[in-house]
Structure 1
Amino acid sequence: MTLTTPALLFPAISLLLLAYTNRFLVLAQLIRQLKQMESEKERSIIARQLGMLRKRIVLTKRMQALGVLSFFGCTLSMFALFLGAQTLGVVCFGISLILLSLSLLYSLYEIIISTNAINVELEDFEQRQQQQNLD
């Protein structure tokens, strides 16, 4: 394995971390919006969303941590290869790939929860539309 093999992951991991940061910022914005809701009907939506939001925050934190550790492992791999420690470089690169894979799995799970949260909003919207049609 050459020094350029782990270097190929650098742009991918960097973009992935940027995407994870954007997801975190969207979560933070959503939580701030939910805090401003005050009516009784809105409180029932908030109650349904809180559990999902907490889980999504934990998952986003894990996604980011595993992504950073993957980036670090990739860097260690390059450094080991630079020093001529081929075996250590390959092991560090393998660990980096495993960490990146775990990060992506957490991301997939967070996307599933996010989709469920959107469905909660859609159900509420549909109920309001049906109530307006009955009135």
Structure 2
Amino acid sequence: MEQLTLTTPALLFSAISLIMLAYTNRFLAYAAVVRNLHDKYLEKKDKQLIKQIKNIKKRLYLTRSMQIFGITSLLLCVLTMFLIYIEQHAIAVWVFGLALILLIFSLAFLIWEIQISVKALEHHISDIENN
């Protein structure tokens, strides 16, 4: 097995940072949608709005999970670098492996969230097509 160096976990910094920026943008967009749906619901108590609110709530929780796994992955990359620095290479390899697994979970939640988002948009499209 090849030796894990400081540069290996450092390479993930830019990737994880970009992913976290994308997740934050998604979260902010959802926050705007929730505020909009909230105002619409206060004006008109429509069952369709309740379905949309439940959908966006589920997507918010998925986005939160994506962010938590991504941030934890980044923290473990930093810990890996520290462990390499103090020459604890065996532990560093395991910690870095865990960081990669958490990043995989984060990306898997992203795929799940995208599937839900597409279904929500399909409902809007079908409403337009049916009219």
Show structure 1 runs of 5+ residues with no match.
131-135
> Which amino acid is 2:101 matched to?
I
Mapped partners of 2:59, 2:51: distance in 1: 13
Superposed displacement of residue 39, structure 1: 4.3
Give the corresponding residue for 1:76.
79
1:133 alignment partner in structure 2:
none
TM-score by length of 2: 0.90
- Matched with 1:120 is 123
Cα separation, 2, equivalents of 1:122 and 1:34: 18
Select which of 43, 61, 65 maps to 1:62. Answer: 65
- Provide the rounded CA distance (Å) in 2 between the counterparts of 1:10 and 1:108: 21
Q: Mind listing any 5+ residue stretches in structure 2 that lack a counterpart?
A: none
Question: Corresponding residue for 2:12?
Answer: 9
Q: Point out the structure with max Rg over C-alpha.
A: 1
Trace 1:1-135 onto structure 2 (pairs within 5 A): 1-37=4-40, 38-39=43-44, 43-127=46-130, 130=131
- Displacement after TM superposition at 1:47 (Å): 2.1
Find runs of 4+ consecutive structure 1 residues off by over 6 angstroms: none
The answer (yes or no) to whether the contact 1:13–1:67 under 8 Å persists in 2 is yes
Offset of 1:82 from its aligned partner? 0.9
- Letter of the aligned partner of 2:48 in structure 1? I
Residue 117 of structure 1 aligns with an amino acid whose one-letter code is: A
Q: Shift of the alpha carbon at 1:124?
A: 2.1
Q: What CA RMSD, in Å, does the superposition of the two structures yield over aligned residues? A: 1.3
